[in-house]
Amino acid sequence: MSACVPTRHDRTSRSSRPPRASGIKRPHSPPPPPRGGRFRIAGADLSASITVFLLAVPMSLGLAVAMDAPLEAGLISAAIGGVVAGLLGGTPLQVSGPSAGLTVVTAELIQIYGWRTTCAITIGAGLLQILLGSLRAARSALAVSPAIVHGTLAGIGVAIALAQLQIVLGGSPQSSAVANALALPDQLGRVSPAAPLIGVLTIAVLILWPRIPGRIGRVVRRIPVALAAVVTATAVAAITAPGIARVDLPSWRSHALPEMPHGPVLALATAVLTVMLVASLESLLAAVAVDKLSADRAGGQAAARSKADLTSASSSASGPASVSVSAQGPGPSSPSPPDPSDPPDPPDPPVRRSDLDRELRAQGIANTLSGLVGGLAVSGGAVRSSANVRAGATGRASTVLHGVWVVLAAGLLVTALEQIPLAALAALVMMVGIQMVSFAHIRNVHKHREFLVYGATITGVLLFGVLKGVVIGIAVAVAVALHRLARTRITVTEQGGQHLVVVQGQLTFLAVPRLSRVLARLPQDGDAVVELDGFFMDHAAYETIQDWSIAQTAHGGRVVFTGRSGGRIAEPASAAHSCCRPWTPWRNHHCHDRPGQTPETHHARLGTGPARDSGSNSVEDRSPEHHTSHNALGAHSTPGPADSPTAAPRRTGGNRLFSGLSSFQRNTAPLVREELARLAREGQRPSQLFITCADSRLVTSMITASGPGDLFTVRNIGNLVPPPDAESSDDSVGAAIEYAVDVLEVESITVCGHSGCGAMQALLGSKPDPDTPLTSLWRWLRHGLPSLERMASRHHAWARISGRLPADAVEQLCLTNVVQQLDHLRAHGPVARRLAEGTLQLHGMYFHVGEAQAYLLAEGASAGLALDEVFDRVDPGDAHASCDSHTPADSHALAGSHAPAGSRSPGDADTPRPAAPGDPAGSGELERTGV
């Protein structure tokens, strides 16, 4: 039996896996169409559609005003975008409509070619989108540098804001952003008060409406802010400014349809390409944003359910049988336990990743139809889509219904729409343009040193138009990349007879001459440290460094290669000294299990040696669907990945052992041979004793970044430390502790637990029959009973993870067990003596396997001096250690910054805990004491 196995209640066997037509999405596959072709409308979709409709109508009219297009064209594109793109698109929650990103482009096209030719250009752009979507080019569009994309949208946003400011001031927009900026002084000199005041009122409502505090704010925020701003401005204008310019919807009988385009063919082709490019990028970026919003919403709902389930389990448990946390429980405000007779809440629909190619084809169809009936160009909108997600939409029904409501409004609410002041719509669109200039994006591009590309794109869009601005941005991006590739700084300093060579930048063939000259000046028999501060090295540079290193070593010199932080990196096998990197040989160790591939062919394909370590070979997905069963101990036993049809057949132990040993001798032994020879001569001097579970998923050298000679490791089922005076105590653990403390004189001892521990599940689950003789396993697990009693005791603080609740009772017991085993450890005589002398430290550690995340027990609790037992997250930046240190686990994993002993995260004081067996009160209401 596996000692510790994962707890996966949501996995099913292969036989019970849903068929492809079930609507449940498999990884890396596009979302399937609705089952049976039925169009389902949920209550949440109906309410969300109304919210989006109330936002889309003023937005559509405002964008039509900004483009100087017929106002009914905005409603047409909103209706077609909702119904057509909603039904056919690959992003069910994305709402399409008039494109804000095309405002400047469309306005320019209308001025040059007229409205009817602009409709024909929209048709051409739609057909081109259909073609690109059919060629599966959507993902390629996202390969453009984010600095160029966001710079383009920001430039369009600035141009929109400048144009709409003219309307807010009572004038008319000019033909370009530069002309609008130059015309502002003259417009300010002849401004009339009515339009600016209505515009300022609209902007004020847009800014203040989401910030109304208290209960009133929670109620009014249900109304879309755009609708609130336009309705308020319309009501005020009706009373104070009856003569202000308002929306004028012409009769549908006079609506203009497209005509055959007239003009230079090259100019028309450029216009079609520009409309297609901007509309596609805007739609695809919005689709990616919708995916993130949907995932965040699902994650928030799952966290809320988990918190509610944990609260329910804590308040309703009344004995050993009620330890497990229900998958469906009452909400956070429900004080009563769930009734087993009540039907479970329906699960949330799965969050589906967008099919971008299908979305691009749907946008092309929508644009083609919109142009044919005289509508504006269509694209996915981030504002409308985010409102749809936040309103609780669950499927494409919300998007489609919103388009239906727009059609009804265009036919039935003409009189009401004609009361809206143009200044209010202009102010609304101006705020949309301002929001397209995102300070978050500016910070990101500045952090990644791409601001020059971002600024050049904005400037190009404002001065020369969208397409030329994009071309300028791409040209600047290429120039910056070439500059960075060619710019390499090489400096040499001498420190105590050792030469330090610092190479900053990318090492390509362009830098080889300078690199060769610098290395040739170094003494051939001297010691050198080469610090490579870059992210790329081509073959020419690699061979230059390797040849020099071999020659330097042959003349008696010593060469060490380091990275930016000072940590050594792997060297050629012939180098004088190499550092063990456990992750490198481990990450692809399952490659031998691939059918039809021998270890030899695998390594021939991937290559060997340190030059390959920096490659991007992906780790296999080792999370197939498992079949979970229960054994006699109540622990979950999970068959290996062989149960999955996507996994390779499981090889026999002999073959796996042979292939692993062969791989070690070929790839790893040359890197560690000298270090192991040194350890063989000098003997082991580990700095710490590491007591952890025998679970096969815990690779101690990997999670502690340690190598040979660093850890003295004791592994057993449940990472248990029997007290020295315990009945049937295990002498092997005590002997290891005594040897490590008295003979090896380790400086610290770590007790490490982990998630999904089978020993803890067994303790929480079924107990052995009193009439049946205890097995060896149960005689050992009796040493974990004090942890179970501690978890149920009123006189101990509850072990917790800082920043979140324990996931369930199993995780709670795993944390508590670490604290309890530290108490057992202090009872051992050698440990107590060294602790009294102040020459030994104790550490508690918890490793979450699924998250690959380590947590350290606060220092005071590890030392037994604090009552608050909190495990703090270890972040990547907490500590840095070079790999040539003999104590990487101490310096890198265990010396991270800890919270004070009495610290806690917000909400910890009132955090409920799962009920545990043995609650003396029998009520599950365990009081928090001693905190």
Cα(704)–Cα(409) distance, integer angstroms = 64
Cα separation, 799 vs 239, in Å, equals 64
Residue reference for tokens 């979450």: 848
Kindly name the residue from 355, 695, 872, 919 that is annotated as catalytic: 695
Spatial CA neighbour of 799 closest among 782, 786, 812: 812
Instruction: Name the residue with tokens 């012939």.
Output: 574
CA dihedral sign of residues 817, 822, 823, 825: positive
* Residue 489, SS3 per DSSP: strand
Q: Which of 119, 580, 757, 814 is catalytic?
A: 757
Mark whether 754 is an active-site residue: yes
Q: How deeply is 760 buried, as exposed, middle or buried, from its count of CB atoms within 10 A (0-12, 13-18, 19+)?
A: buried
Instruction: Tell me whether residue 697 is one of the annotated catalytic residues.
Output: yes
Look up 883 and say whether it is catalytic. Answer: no
- In three-state secondary structure terms, 872 is strand
Strand ranges inside 476-541, DSSP E: 489-495, 498-504, 527-533
Query: What angle in degrees, to the nearest 10, is found between the helix axes of 397-412 and 382-390?
Result: 110
Residues 6+ apart with CB under 8 A from 190: none
Q: Which residues of 31-54 are buried (b: 16+ CB within 10 A; e: fewer)?
A: beeeeeeeeeeeeebeebbebbbb
Q: Which of 754, 824, 828, 892 is catalytic?
A: 754
What 3-state DSSP class applies to 651?
Answer: coil
What the block records as the tokens of 51 is 């919210």
Told to judge if 580 belongs to the known catalytic residues of this protein, a careful annotator would answer: no
In the chain, the largest separation of any two C-alpha atoms, in whole Å, equals: 100
- The question of whether 695 is a catalytic residue gets the answer yes
DSSP secondary structure string, 533-557? Answer: ESS-B-HHHHHHHHHHHHHHHHTT-
- The pair phi, psi for residue 920, each rounded to 5°, is -65, -25
Give the chain's count of helices (H) and strands (E): 35, 15
Rounded CA-CA distance 165/781 in Å is 75
**Would you state the structure tokens that stand for residue 396, as one six-digit string?**
């494409």
The values of phi and psi at residue 798, to 5°, are: -90, 130
Question: Cβ neighbours of residue 641 under 8 Å, at least 6 residues apart?
Answer: 622, 624, 647, 648, 650
The residue annotated as part of the active site, out of 693, 752, 814, 883, is: 693
CB-based contact 24:351 (threshold 8 Å): no
Angle between helices 115-134 and 265-316 (to 10 degrees): 60
Q: Which residues are catalytic?
A: 693, 695, 697, 754, 757
